[in-house]
Chains A and B, each alone.
Chain A
Amino acid sequence: MKMNRQYMLAFVALVLGMMLSVQFQTANNPIERDTRDIWELRADLEEEKKRQQMLNEEIRKNEDLLHQYSSKGQESANEAMEQALADLKKQAGLTEISGQGITITIEPFNEGLVGGDTPVPHLYPDMLRRLINELNRYDALEMSIDGQRVVSRTPIREVNGSIYVNNEPLSSFPIEINVLTDDSKKLHQKIIASPAIEDFIRENFYVEAAVSDQIMLPAYTEPLRVKYMKQVKEDS
């Protein structure tokens, strides 16, 4: 009789434990339903394939580099390292770079044309950020705003009514944005019709974009603070 009671208690405790942990899991990470339709799934698949290809290429490149480091003598290993360092600096935007691209000029509407009662246009950092995002979406490679190179860590802020890019205030209008790209005509056409440019027009700015064969972008000069990366300890 006593044993029977033990089993019963054990059974109840088992059920209770299962219910508790299921409830706990449900409360902590609820089910997220996948509501993508077939086209979205296809697009996502395509995206993942591209990513895989990119990762594969990167692996191959790094393997080549490793091979170069290890196979040849000290001299050539140094050379390879310097080459890699230069490549990284170029990627991070620490070097001057030139090429074909487009130049976008932003200036306030000429007051004389539209009459005196138009409000003074105000530039918001969000507009610039949106423009940068759209440029990136249209395959822009590198860009600079008013002589400030835009890198992955470039801050665009509004401080006391003026816009700061890379912690440097923008000079007075017109503001020039230089963008490097592989296909400048295509980028030009796309950016003319982009919603980001329409935002500028809505705020009473006059935006002009011109294709140019030779654009020079300055290097990023601020120190790059690395917060979340650590040096790999050597083993093996």
Chain B
Amino acid sequence: MWLPVLSLIIGLFLGYISELRIPPEYSNYLSIAVLAALDTLFGGIRAQLQGTFEDKVFISGFFFNILLAAALAYLGVHLGIDLYLAAIFAFGVRLFNNIAVIRRLIISKWNDNRKKA
């Protein structure tokens, strides 16, 4: 468990010291990509807790979701429709769902442990 947390911190640190900044017109894409990545990560945690985790699904979902979201946003910009809102909505709803399921799973696990003890 500590390795992903550590690498998250390392990633934050790397991004911070690299002083990398993207032009404002592309910040929409990055924000969607971040959302997609968060969604994938929480989906992975949920699958892990439910015992249905599959490596290939996880890693392909990570990249595919990011690319799909960015492509949708790009298409939206060129069509003049705020299509990125669709991605934000979809990922947002899924994020909440995933977190709710994770919460339930953790609570039920905790309850089981207490009953055993």
Contacts and interface: CB of A to CB of B under 8 A. Distances in A.
Interface stretch (A26-34, A108-116, A200-208): A26-34
Nearest to A4: B55
Contact of B15 (A13, A19, A29): A19
B3 A15 contact: no
Interface residues of A, number: 27
A18 B15 contact: yes
B106 interface: no
Nearest to B33: A19
Contacts of B13: 17, 21
A8 B58 contact: yes
Given A8-B58, A9-B44, A13-B8, A25 B15 contact: yes
Main DSSP-derived SS at the B contact region? helix
A22 B22 contact: yes
Contacts of B31: 23
Contacts of B15: 17-22, 24-25
A82 B99 CA distance: 72
A199 B109 CA distance: 78
Contacts of A19: 15, 30, 33-34, 37
A15 B67 CA distance: 14
Interface residues of B, number: 36
A35 to B, nearest CB: 14
A15 B11 contact: yes
A17 B23 CA distance: 19
Contacts of A4: 55
Given A12-B40, A12-B41, A12-B44, A17 B8 contact: yes
A168 B55 CA distance: 79
Given A9-B4, A26-B27, A17 B58 contact: no
A4 B34 CA distance: 23
Interface string A1-18: 000111111111111111
Given A5-B53, A6-B3, A23-B30, A15 B19 contact: no
Interface string B23-43: 110010011011001101100
A32 to B, nearest CB: 10
B75 interface: no
B55 A8 contact: yes
B7 interface: yes
Contact of A25 (B7, B20, B44): B20
A227 B86 CA distance: 53
A26 B30 contact: yes
B6 interface: yes
A27 B31 CA distance: 10
Contacts of B6: 10
**Shortest beta-carbon contacts, A-B, top 4:** A17-B11, A21-B15, A10-B7, A13-B8
25 contacts: A4-B55, A6-B4, A10-B4, A12-B4, A12-B37, A13-B4, A13-B7, A13-B8, A14-B11, A14-B14, A15-B62, A16-B11, A16-B37, A17-B14, A18-B15, A19-B15, A19-B30, A19-B33, A21-B11, A25-B21, A26-B21, A29-B21, A30-B24, A31-B21, A31-B24
